[in-house]
Amino acid sequence: MTTVVRLDNVRKEYGDTTALAGVSLEVRSGEAVAVMGPSGCGKSTLLNMIAGLDRPTSGSVHVHDEDLGRLNETKLALFRRHRIGMIFQFFNLLDDLPALDNVALAAQLTGSRVDTARQRALELLDELGIADRRNVYPAALSGGERQRVAVARALMNRPGLLLADEPTGALDSRAGEQVMDLLLDLNQIGQTLVIVTHDERLATRCASRVVSLADGRVAGERALERA
């Protein structure tokens, strides 16, 4: 199995706060890794490092054999565009675009023509069971629907790595459940997954491995036997 993500002794400091205090971690292709730990322990920061949303203070991050430290801002953007799909706790949809255009946007940024992009977006929404909501604006969607739109957007450019930061954190249990199933399905067809979560249930259901963080360090790791 090839290594998709490799972190070597990554530190991240924000002024006096040390968010990550030397984290080393590997994620292999097809894995679903859950990152857990108390609030403020550095989970989101870790995810941001992998996504190239922020740069480590020291240490190195390799994703798909790219050393992110050597990429400039534009290259990083292109890297995210093609290699990474991200899902956030609060969805981060653009409020002035309907669901379909929110999803299509990810492809349009790469230069895809609008009809091609909308076509693929529609297919994804259909697969996620919300094709009928395509013309609805985020404000009028339920939380679960919004998160599914966000998942569709993240999958738009067929990323090798899907990163999710508390994807069920803002959802009620039923909607959370649906999103969980979705992620599980994705992983089962080979999608590599890193999920940050507080939710033990989400972790045990979706992940093949759980990494625990505490105070910016890896505190433990356990492999899970999945159903």
Ligand X SMILES: Nc1ncnc2c1ncn2[C@@H]1O[C@H](COP(=O)(O)OP(=O)(O)OP(=O)(O)O)[C@@H](O)[C@H]1O
Interface residues with another protein (CB under 8 A) are 44-45, 48, 51, 53-54, 73-74, 77-82, 84, 86, 88, 92-98, 101, 104-106, 108-111, 113-114, 137, 139, 153-154, 157
Nearer to Mg ion, 48 or 157 (CB): 48
Size of the site for ligand X (CB under 6 A): 10
With CB under 5 to 8 Å by kind, the binding choice for 42 among Mg ion, another protein, ligand X, none is ligand X
Would you say 8 and 53 are in contact if contact means Cβ atoms under 8 Å apart?
A: no
Query: What is the rounded CA–CA span in Å between residue 118 and residue 101?
Result: 7
Would you say 196 and 164 are in contact if contact means Cβ atoms under 8 Å apart?
A: yes
For Mg ion, the binding residues in 52-81 under the rule CB under 5 A are none
Contacts of 68 (CB under 8 A, 6+ apart): 49, 52, 55, 60, 61, 62, 76, 79
Q: Is 43 in the site for ligand X (CB under 6 A)?
A: yes
With CB under 5 to 8 Å by kind, the binding choice for 205 among Mg ion, another protein, ligand X, none is none
Give the one residue of 44, 102, 157, 212 binding Mg ion; rule: CB under 5 A: 44
Contacts of 30 (CB under 8 A, 6+ apart): 1, 187, 190, 191, 192
Torsion of CA 140, 144, 145, 151, to 10 degrees: 130
Residues that bind Mg ion (CB under 5 A): 44
Residues that bind ligand X (CB under 6 A): 14, 17, 19, 39-45
